[in-house]
A = this chain, B = another copy of it.
């Protein structure tokens, strides 16, 4: 009565696979990758354990190492991130904000990669570096093609990122109720003017705020 039962895996949310059959290499590689994406998205890099990913893929943890070498390498390929920004060169300049916001929602609502990246980049330095790289190599150049003055592109791209990532954060990660309940269509109507302004409007201050001409310096209240 040594009770040496190794605790059967009875995870309800696991890959569906007939009992005991063998899969070919490609299938398990894909299964691992899919489980990894889900776990990284739900828990972030640190809390997503190799053991949990393996359990979801109905496989031994050692197989993950065999196929992907290390956890860091697994994350690197799981979080391969291509914004796949479409060509917006034929969109009229005054509709760029609407086009960009619409596209980002069609991209995010069904893809949990961004929350995964967000969760990871918040705590993992390598994740943050990856986020900065995506910003520099993908969003940056795309925004550069939309703005009037190329010198202002990085700054405007940063502002766009602050609003779009803020929405992703509050809606998908923090799950603030009002941001979860609102429909994508309504959200697009609210956000499009903001993004449009960050992309195309002249640098503020447009006019000196209101009539009372004192307190020119608004930095520290």
Q: Is the CB of A106 within 8 A of B44?
A: no
Q: Is the CB of A158 within 8 A of B179?
A: yes
A189 vs B98: C-alpha distance in the bound complex, in angstroms? 22
- Total contacting residues, chain A, CB less than 8 A: 65
- A157-171 interface bits toward B, Cβ cutoff 8 Å, 1 = contact, 0 = none: 111011111110111
Q: Is the CB of A204 within 8 A of B189?
A: yes
Q: Is the CB of B165 within 8 A of A169?
A: yes
When C-beta atoms are compared, the residue in chain B nearest to A164 turns out to be B166
Q: Is the CB of A165 within 8 A of B170?
A: yes
A197 vs B106: C-alpha distance in the bound complex, in angstroms? 25
When C-beta atoms are compared, the residue in chain B nearest to A106 turns out to be B221
Q: Is the CB of B43 within 8 A of A174?
A: no
Verify if A50 is at the interface (C-beta below 8 Å from B): no
B-binding segment of A8-16, A56-64, A65-73, A128-136: A128-136
Given contacts A46-B47, A190-B204, 6 further A-B pairs with CB under 8 A are A94-B210, A102-B219, A122-B123, A158-B176, A158-B182, A189-B204
Q: Which residues of A contact B (CB under 8 A)?
A: 43-44, 46-47, 92, 94-95, 98, 102-103, 105-106, 118-119, 121-123, 128, 131-132, 135-136, 154-155, 157-159, 161-167, 169-171, 173-179, 182-185, 188-190, 192-194, 197-198, 204-205, 209-210, 217-221
